[in-house]
Structure 1
């Protein structure tokens, strides 16, 4: 199967590329510029090359669009503009590509995020829950998903991503760091929800969406057992044998991170109803099993 990954040089994109290659798929990665070196078997193209010669992607059977500037930066006015524009620009580029290809792909998996549900200490959100714009992250994702409606004529999956846990990027290395230093503890009230997914299950879930033609629309990319911030920290402490004792006040996070602290101090309890109903099986359904696997993987690399 010929699969195109936009943003394939990022944290999730790299893992997805490796996984698909192992499954014998033909992978093309599109990025802003060609990397100096990548794994064998991958074709690299830039957005400029695609814009000039879309024929290069004729025969593509699936497109996965993960491209977009990271939210993990201080939200200055300039950064906010970059975050929004980078997402809308790549969605528009994919929509344009679909229009000009003579042989259309069967599916586009378009990245989104669970921030679209807003935040709550008490509510549980499924794919049937409405969008609720309450802050910058939720407004970005709502605009992102609205823009994705430009992608027409193909099956569209809106991949609402939670916190993706892996050793090589994403939020987890920073979340684990205080425990490594012996100063781990709850952040703010500790009652805010953390919806998460292991990186391995994330790439398997994307592959599942591609290979199951009855999956479309919003899909929650989150494990079936979300936890509170305090429970997350306790589990990190238990798995890595580190104390969970040093609470970080909310005002300190706001002082250090500014508006970006919303990602840490607020949250949402998200359940992957659609994936469960379609028969997807998580290899790491609990946080303890996910963290234990990450710990063992890290230990193996050091040997």
Structure 2
């Protein structure tokens, strides 16, 4: 049994990770901004603690084997000056808090798995990126990742994994419900040129990859959290259309996306083709390696839910 602390444990990926950790018998501490309830958890191996409580008593996490940092303000909102500052500071402040916490512990954790973003490499229609590719700041998100990873580098731990996460697909959370909405309303089609790359990963594989990084001490540094077969926006829409039985015919021009979403439209109109070379080289196998396999599962889950 491992003792794992998780920040962002009540978020989209965090909830699924906590569930998986408990199912395999680990002890889990969820670190949150809010003060925790005094009532006991339904699971004796699940604990919650606030940052304020840890500031007063950091020894609560003595003996933690791993800290997984998934905390961060959602990027799925209109990017005003204020929201962009919240997105940036929530990530850099979270990493800085973990650095201070680790410094105070007599027994340091064996590893910190720090979430990051696949946008680290900047956007490109032609290049292919793996973990050896240099970071490149081309827009707001790549700038956030640069500062985020620099903050993570200050965590005094022997093994730091920077998990550069792609677009995580799941039927009920994250970006997928919004991405699928036009098709579900029979108005789906390519966005912009449709040639922009999407580095994606199914939620189940995302959780499995985090567990894999926890369990394999030889893995450190950048790890691309994305499926081995990225797709273009048009290929993504076609796979979604086929799996859900919806047409893929009504393109949304780039100027319209920019008018409606502002700078946040770059999430849909730009992208990068990133490959999970390090995960594959260390023997990780994807349950959903292709967009067709992922869409088949998502459509099946949708039928079962309805």
CA drift at 1:31: 1.1
Contact 2:36 2:50 in 1 (8 A): no
- The answer for the alignment partner of 1:126 in structure 2 is 130
Provide the rounded CA distance (Å) in 2 between the counterparts of 1:186 and 1:151. 42
- The answer for the alignment partner of 1:202 in structure 2 is 206
Question: Which of 256, 269, 282 is equivalent to 1:252?
Answer: 256
Q: Does 1:263 align with 2:267?
A: yes
Provide the rounded CA distance (Å) in 2 between the counterparts of 1:7 and 1:163. 17
Provide the rounded CA distance (Å) in 1 between the counterparts of 2:23 and 2:171. 20
Provide the rounded CA distance (Å) in 2 between the counterparts of 1:178 and 1:301. 20
Question: Which of 28, 43, 46 is equivalent to 1:42?
Answer: 46
CA change 1:7–1:39 in 2 (3 A) is farther
Deviations 1:68-94 (A, max 9, x none): 111111111111111111111110110
Q: Does 1:144 align with 2:148?
A: yes
Question: Which of 160, 163, 167 is equivalent to 2:167?
Answer: 163
Provide the rounded CA distance (Å) in 2 between the counterparts of 1:21 and 1:295. 27
Question: Which of 202, 217, 221 is equivalent to 1:213?
Answer: 217
Provide the rounded CA distance (Å) in 2 between the counterparts of 1:27 and 1:82. 27
Question: Which of 281, 290, 293 is equivalent to 1:289?
Answer: 293
TM-score (normalizing by structure 1)? 0.97
Q: Compute the RMSD of aligned alpha carbons.
A: 1.3
Provide the rounded CA distance (Å) in 1 between the counterparts of 2:256 and 2:33. 36
- The answer for the alignment partner of 2:58 in structure 1 is 54
Contact 1:11 1:168 in 2 (8 A): no
Contact 1:127 1:219 in 2 (8 A): yes
DSSP-derived class of the 1:284 partner: coil
Deviations 1:242-289 (A, max 9, x none): 000000000011001100001110000000000000000000000111
Deviations 1:28-60 (A, max 9, x none): 111111577976342111111111110111110
Count of aligned pairs between the two proteins: 302
DSSP-derived class of the 1:150 partner: coil
Deviations 1:107-162 (A, max 9, x none): 00001001110000000000000001011111110011111110123200000000
- The answer for the alignment partner of 1:15 in structure 2 is 16
Contact 2:112 2:157 in 1 (8 A): no
Deviations 1:205-245 (A, max 9, x none): 00000100100000000000000000000000000000000
Provide the rounded CA distance (Å) in 2 between the counterparts of 1:51 and 1:108. 19
